[in-house]
């Protein structure tokens, strides 16, 4: 259609015919249907189909190994910061943290924990000014955003967590180490311009590696990566998870002691203990389900406004007042353990207390002991 006034002709586009629309729709449906069919065909031809869930090319392995090493280095440095805060706050030079805490007065503990609450309140209020303050945390970023992390928010959270844990807050030191391990994987992903799937793998492996280095548990860190963060047990995901966890733990040994985190007393395996485990195992598993649900409920109902600043102070002060009670309970527990050890010694080896005496010990049994040698 054109105008007769001398102006340039205006062309009105004609609508596409029904046949053209049908052809386009058929082509689109065919293209959409082709992908699942091709995937199914590849799965049938592959003797191990779970390898198709994630491919790890050889060029990605240097980044995987660097993630494990970086997680081990950051974990070691954060633990050094933790020890420094502990020694400064509780003024002890040798021994473990519990010895240092028991060496100060109850007033000193309350004051330190009150300062931890004030510090947490100030940082939590100022954290709202960060550009990524409203973004998801580590786990949700891996699950929902392919490992794209809020870097400023996680850095502040990790440093705050490790400092107040050193001051006595019972929050767990693994949170900071997981977050920094994930940040190492995320930064490497940015530098190498990895795909979303590869970024998710690298960030999850870094977080699991930090978890492994936190408690010297490489196997536990790898399983945490697979079960919690990735939700898969494919070989393509398991190999990087185990490699980063073991490498991070080994690297952290250069700054941390290569020994168990918690020293437990020797507990022989008995039939009563086995029965107790059979009964309490399912109960604890069911309680863990409700614990996780409680965590999600607490996150959905987290404090807002003035409560963000008030609650940390109140909770940590209450923890400080409760610490003398826990010290008294521990003293009573140690007294009961010492009595139990004395009873074992009276019915075992008279010299070393073992149930079977060594050749160097005198095989004398106290009068009245009916336990067979």
- Residue 343 or 103, more confident: 103
Which of 66-70, 100-104, 317-321: highest mean pLDDT? 66-70
> Would the pTM of this model clear 0.75, i.e. be above it?
no
pLDDT tens for each residue of 205-237: 999 999 999 888 999 999 999 988 988 888 888
- Residue 74 or 236, more confident: 74
pLDDT tens for each residue of 114-125: 898 899 899 988
- Residue 342 or 353, more confident: 342
Residue 187: C-alpha distances to residues 134, 183, 212, 240 (Å):
20, 6, 20, 17
Query: Sorting pLDDT into bands at 50, 70 and 90, what band is 135?
Result: confident
Question: Among 168-182, 262-276, 287-301, 354-368, where is mean pLDDT lowest?
Answer: 354-368
- Residue 186 or 7, more confident: 186
In whole angstroms, give the CA distance from residue 306 to residue 271. 54
pLDDT tens for each residue of 156-214: 999 999 999 988 887 778 889 999 999 999 999 999 988 888 999 999 999 999 999 98
Ramachandran category for residue 303: left, alpha or beta (phi over 0 → left; psi -120 to 50 → alpha): beta
Query: Sorting pLDDT into bands at 50, 70 and 90, what band is 28?
Result: very low
User: pLDDT value at position 19?
Assistant: 47
Domains and CATH numbers, the chain: 65-257 (1.10.3080.10)
- Average pLDDT on 245-272 reads 84
In whole angstroms, give the CA distance from residue 125 to residue 227. 34
């Amino acid at each position: 259609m054109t105008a007769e006034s001398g102006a340039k002709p205006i062309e009105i586009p004609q609508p596409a015919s029904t046949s053209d629309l049908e052809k386009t729709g058929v082509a689109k449906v065919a293209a959409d249907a082709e992908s699942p069919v091709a995937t199914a065909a590849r799965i049938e031809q592959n003797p191990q189909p779970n390898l198709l869930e994630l491919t790890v090319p050889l060029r990605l392995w240097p980044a995987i190994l660097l993630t494990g090493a970086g997680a081990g280095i950051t974990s070691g440095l954060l633990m050094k910061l933790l020890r420094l805060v502990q020694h400064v706050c509780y003024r002890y030079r040798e021994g473990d943290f519990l010895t240092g805490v028991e060496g100060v007065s109850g007033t000193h503990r309350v004051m330190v924990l009150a300062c931890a609450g004030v510090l947490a309140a100030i940082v939590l209020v100022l954290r709202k000014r960060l550009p990524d303050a409203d973004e998801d945390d580590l786990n949700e970023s891996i699950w929902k955003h392919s490992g794209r992390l809020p870097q400023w928010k996680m850095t502040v959270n990790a440093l705050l967590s490790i400092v107040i844990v050193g001051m006595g807050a019972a929050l767990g030191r693994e949170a900071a180490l997981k977050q920094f391990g994930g940040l190492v994987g995320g930064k490497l992903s940015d530098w190498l311009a990895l795909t979303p799937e590869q970024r998710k793998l690298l960030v999850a492996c870094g977080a699991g590696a930090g978890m492994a280095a936190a408690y010297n548990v490489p196997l536990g860190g790898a399983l945490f990566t697979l079960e919690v963060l990735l939700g898969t047990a494919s070989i393509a995901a398991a190999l990087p998870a185990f490699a980063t966890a073991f490498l991070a733990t080994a690297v952290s040994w250069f700054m941390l002691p290569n020994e168990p985190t918690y020293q437990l007393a020797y507990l022989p395996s008995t039939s009563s203990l086995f029965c107790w485990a059979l009964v309490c195992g399912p109960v604890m598993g069911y309680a863990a389900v409700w614990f996780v649900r409680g965590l999600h409920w607490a996150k959905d109902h987290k404090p807002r406004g003035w409560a963000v600043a008030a609650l940390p102070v109140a909770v940590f002060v209450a923890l400080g007042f409760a610490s003398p009670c826990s010290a008294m309970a521990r003293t009573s527990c140690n007294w009961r353990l010492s009595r139990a050890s004395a009873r074992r010694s009276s019915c075992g080896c008279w010299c070393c207390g073992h149930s079977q005496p060594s050749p160097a010990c005198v095989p004398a049994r106290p009068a009245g002991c009916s336990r067979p040698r």
